Copies of this chain bind each other. A is one copy, B any other.
Amino acid sequence: MEKRTDINTLGEFGLIEHLTKDVTVKNPNTLHGIGDDAAVIDAGKDALLISTDLLVEGIHFDLMYTPLKHLGYKAVVVNVSDIYAMNAVAEQITISLAISNRFSVEALEELYEGIALACKMYNVDLIGGDTTSSPKGLTISVTATGRAKKEDIVYRSGAKPGDIICITGDLGAAYLGLQLLEREKQVYLAAPGVQPDLEQKKYLVERQLKPEAAKESIAYFKKKKIQPTAMIDISDGLASEVFHICKSSKVGAFIEEAKIPIHPEAEEMALKFSLDPTMCALNGGEDYELLFTIDEKDLQEIRYMPSVYIIGEIVDAKDGIKLHTSGGNIHDLKAQGWKHFEDKA
């Protein structure tokens, strides 16, 4: 019998690494390939950044509680976020859709309204795509392109011991918003007459359904001439992204649990769900904040950055990736995001 290895055994990142392990780039215009939030292509004095994401119904979104307009908005935001994570400005986007006959023209108009709104908000042009039928459900594929001066691009690989680890906003709220929406869905399915009360939970729901990308942070870096040493956007949870930076930069990290920013509403909701708020921040994902490292010399400027949080320090690789808990213990940090195929939902 033929050998059959289940894809779940490798996890998402393991699978990608396995499949692309022999990939080399040959074209001199390919400045950087696989391994960061975006690839980099030569464009004269600038470089073009390109990043792509697939959003699949039933995996990434549930149309029972996701308005199509929000979904269109989010599809753009998550891709734009990858361009910002390279310290670049997002400029263009392509949107491809595979749609089953279940969707009406009016439903797609709503989706495109959200796409148009996000394009306006983030100054990106919709320049192309593909539309096709699908046997089942909706799949959205977005490719974003952006631009930066070559010397301004920030990779995951530049962090060095002594660098300060920062985040652009609070974490865990999107994940808790999802838990809340899932709970309300179950309540609704059990008793369709009951209207969900989400009014008091607006922050969490909005972080899940209509996230924003850290456009202002990139503008701030430019204005203040700060060059992060490494950067990544937080799509799979803080822990996963810390692992990515440490792996690419060949360093370790020391994270202070008490410094991880968690919104009071997220904290409250986590406790209601009997979840550890820190775990939600570390492994929840979909925050679309930026995780970045800076040289110590830039610390003073960073302190004045709006809504920035300093959560730890880069250390030598031999010192590992550690979490200094609020209780005073030191643990190895664990990243659940590294096994995405084992189904987070």
Contact = CB atoms under 8 A, between A and B. Distances in A.
Interface of A: 2-10, 12, 15-16, 18-20, 22-23, 25-27, 29-30, 32-34, 38-39, 41-46, 48, 50-54, 56-60, 91-92, 94, 96-99, 101, 103-106, 108-109, 112, 116, 123-137, 139, 141, 143, 145, 147, 340-341, 343
A160 B26 CA distance: 39
A193 to B, nearest CB: 20
A41 B22 CA distance: 30
B7 A53 contact: no
A94 B124 CA distance: 20
A9 B116 CA distance: 24
A75 B124 CA distance: 27
Contact of A30 (B7, B60, B91, B141): B91
Contacts of A45: 44
Nearest to A5: B105
Contacts of A145: 41, 50
Given A7-B99, A52-B141, A135-B58, A92 B39 contact: yes
A32 B137 CA distance: 31
Contacts of A32: 127
A52 B98 contact: no
Given A27-B125, A41-B91, 7 more contacts: A19-B112, A29-B92, A50-B50, A56-B135, A96-B141, A132-B340, A133-B340
A31 to B, nearest CB: 9
Contacts of A106: 2-5
